[in-house]
Amino acid sequence: MNASKQAQTIGALSKISSVARIILSEFPSATLDLSPWLSDSQDDDADPTSIDYGVSFGTFHEYMNCRCMLIQVCFSEIPHISSSRMQGIIASGHNHDRQCWKASSLHRFELEGIEIEKLSTVGNSNRRKIENLFNRIYALYGYHSPLHK
């Protein structure tokens, strides 16, 4: 669900803005969208147990091998419920016509997709950028990242 719609408490708003700062620190030339789902009908299809962020590079980002990303922080329940626990993070890279790659930490860290070989080149620096983003978000929510060895 759009991050903008999940900001229902001061605590949630604080975490959402902190995740936004983390994303922009990793991708300083990007534009962040707290409402990546364009309409109410699309938002109705979005998972209410996730907080979703859109990241636009404005043009093709050579190193991330996409034009934009969707980052979803997933929870066990609706995030503003006190018993909700963070389950993991999903990031996916997109072009105007398709999803290029997907990274998920829901079970174990996995990268998949048709463009993944480019994302994993140059000493895996792009993979490390995604892992670092995930690690920082886990730390913000007070969880030990499964990506740390």
The whole-chain average pLDDT of the chain stands at 83
pTM, full prediction:
0.85
Average pLDDT, integer, range 105-125: 63
Give percent of the chain above pLDDT 70: 82
Lowest mean pLDDT among 2-11, 40-49, 80-89: 40-49
Question: Alpha-carbon dihedral of residues 80, 47, 67, 101, nearest 10 degrees?
Answer: 110
- CA 120 to chain centroid, in Å, comes to 18
pLDDT, one tens digit per residue, over 23-53 is 999 999 999 999 998 765 555 557 888 999 9
d(CA 32, CA 57): 9
Q: How many angstroms separate the CA atoms of 66 and 47, rounded?
A: 23
Read off the pLDDT band of 123 (50, 70, 90): very low
| pLDDT band of 133, cuts 50, 70, 90 | very high
pLDDT at 130: 87
* Total H helices, total E strands in the chain: 5, 6
